Amino acid sequence: MVAMTGYLLESAWPAITRLGVEFLTRVEWDPVQGIFGALPGIYGTLLTSVLAMAIAIPVSLGVAIFLAELAPNWLRGPASLLVEMLAAVPSVVIGLWGLFVMVPVIRSPIERWLGQSLGFLPFFQGPPFGVGFLAGGLILAIMALPILTAIARDSILAVPSSQREAMLALGATRWEAISQAVLPYARSGIVAAAMLGFGRALGETMAVTMVIGNGYRLTPQLFSPGNTMASKIAIEFNEASGDLYIGALVELGLVLFAITLVVNLLGRIMIRWMAPGQRVGAQQ
Amino acid sequence: MIGQYTRRKVTNYLMLTLCGLATLAAIAILLLVVGYTAVNGLPYLNLEFITQTARPLGEPGGGMRNEIIGTLILVGLASAIGLPVGLLAGSFLAEYGDGRVGTAVRLVADVLTGVPSVVIGIFVYIIMVRSMGTFSALSGGVALAIIMLPIVARTTEEMMRLIPATYREAALALGISRWRTIISVVIPGAMTGIVTGSMLAVARITGETAPLIFTALGNRFGFSGLLNPIAAMPLQIWRYATSAYDTWHQQAWAASFLLVIFVLFINISVRWLTARRYGYTR
């Protein structure tokens, strides 16, 4: 780890010294003139990941509640297995599926409809490309779903059943028992799940690279092609020439590394703090 | 009062239904992904696909022999490096890992799991590709090994901790040295778990693409030594998928199907084995 940070720093050094702090705030990315700015990449990474979380957190919470509380016993095993298998599918395959199956669907019904009915919002303006931030966010939501579900389910299962029974005995409906007794009890586990899922989404490369469309701009329009830090690196690294260009890409990787490190550490600390000695989701 | 009661019941059913629908959606996505891959890939997955190399554009047929061999070599290399180191690290954590060093190593391993694979790719590019002056199979193997390391280490640790302390004490009481105890008593007992963990790690790295871009690079002309660029299936799927030719897209689907089959097979058989061995279902 230490070696990794060291080498990354050393290799990014020409870029860090030459580009300075402006690297983080600049919008242009022009290798020919040696101008590099990371802001659209950082923005793209955060935008797609936040979008993914906005979709994946409610869905995976629903799945986790279903698996932990509602599913009959014969269904619980197979359903959990299927959701977890989603995590096993290689990201390049999900990207392939996203590019050829999901993107056309996004382009024609979804983005057109959003543009027509909600077009007054800045997010839903612009031509429907199909590939872009929205597609990237959706694919990340799919990829973050299994880990979110697994940890949220484990922390819901860890809630003592006396909590539920007390609510039900007071005449609460099942949903009221879940939302007012179980979920608050499992809250820290769910937050930790969200953090780890967020970390996963931030660093995910291949699937996003294939559906995000390789643009590089700072725009609120979700239909616009964009780039994340990871996809920018994946697309350009082999073509990069010169210390400065490579250094800039490495520095981009360094920024990504730092962000995921912080997010993951927070998630781990929360898991440990939530269940001392139990280590829910330690193998995820 | 009736109104409030009805509202509560309606909310109840609505939310519970939503939870069920979310589960259906999640499962549907998996079935859609696997289904599309099968439908699009199966027609092109034949003997020719496995035994032939790629044909020039425009000629029908051809296969991915080079890529399949390349992936096997890369995964083999990564396992040869990652498994022993992971095993040793896991043993250390399980047997000696209660102190401050153990906690630190554990934390590093956990964090390493979360490091984006692109970043690992760049790291290996800097330490190996740049200093050796060429993209190589070896560096690809090292990158994959780094990804697999924390997974193997952590599962090994978890499995070895399941071995009761009385076993160790019995061995030590017979005058057997510590390392001999670990090798002859603890590791055999935890073997099933260690093997399944290693299989999962292998399945995980087989589909890895991002780190290979900067290390293995890809190679259209077959295997030519560990110090030269090497082809890999996930890389080729990516290149083909983002190309503009239908025949290449077909090859990408077929290769994806092969990957998915392999990965799902390992995962499901591991589940089956562990469920039988330890008697829990998850």
Cα distance between residue B46 and residue B51, in whole Å: 9
A contact test, residue of B33, B108, B130 with most A CBs within 10 A: B33
- The CATH label, of 3.50.50.60, 1.10.3720.10, 1.10.1740.10, 1.25.40.10, for the domain at A2-274 is 1.10.3720.10
**Among A63, A80, A101, whose Cβ lies nearest the Cβ of B36?**
A101
Q: Which of residues 39 through 68 in chain B touch A, CB cutoff 8 A? A: 40
pLDDT of residue A19: 64
pLDDT of residue A17: 64
pLDDT of residue B78: 92
For residue A1, the 8-state DSSP code is -
Chain B residues lying within 8 Å of A267, measured CB to CB: 114
Query: Under a CB-based contact definition with an 8 Å cutoff, are residues A41 and A232 in contact?
Result: yes
Q: State the average pLDDT over residues B93-102.
A: 82
How many residues belong to chain B?
282
**Chain A closest-CA separation from residue B278 CA (Å):** 15
A231-240, B71-80, B250-259: least confidently modelled range = A231-240
**Chain A closest-CA separation from residue B59 CA (Å):** 23
pLDDT above 70: residue B278: no
Q: Per-residue pLDDT tens for A46-74?
A: 888 999 999 999 999 999 999 888 888 88
When pLDDT is cut at 50, 70 and 90, the band that residue B211 belongs to is confident
Do the chains contact at A83 and B23, CB–CB below 8 Å? yes
The interface pTM score, or ipTM, of the predicted complex is: 0.83
**Would you say the C-alpha torsion B70, B73, B78, B79 has a positive or negative sign?**
positive
pLDDT of residue B238: 85
Question: pTM score, two decimals?
Answer: 0.84
Chain A residues lying within 8 Å of B210, measured CB to CB: 91, 205-206, 230, 234
Do the chains contact at A234 and B213, CB–CB below 8 Å? yes
Cα distance between residue B197 and residue B159, in whole Å: 9
Q: Which of B266, B138, B142 is nearest to B204 (CA)?
A: B266
pLDDT of residue B280: 44
**Among A79, A89, A96, whose Cβ lies nearest the Cβ of B252?**
A96
Q: What is the mean pLDDT of chain B?
A: 83
Query: Under a CB-based contact definition with an 8 Å cutoff, are residues A92 and B239 in contact?
Result: no
Do the chains contact at A205 and B33, CB–CB below 8 Å? no
**Would you say the C-alpha torsion A229, A235, A238, A240 has a positive or negative sign?**
negative
Which residue ranges of chain A lie beneath pLDDT 50?
276-284
DSSP 3-state of A29: strand
Query: Under a CB-based contact definition with an 8 Å cutoff, are residues B224 and B66 in contact?
Result: no
Q: Per-residue pLDDT tens for B33-67?
A: 988 888 888 887 777 777 777 776 666 666 778 88
Do the chains contact at B115 and A203, CB–CB below 8 Å? yes
Query: Under a CB-based contact definition with an 8 Å cutoff, are residues B7 and A169 in contact?
Result: no
Q: Per-residue pLDDT tens for B44-53?
A: 777 777 777 7
pLDDT of residue A213: 76
The residue in chain A having the minimum alpha-carbon distance to the alpha carbon of residue B116 is: A203
Q: State the average pLDDT over residues B235-241.
A: 84
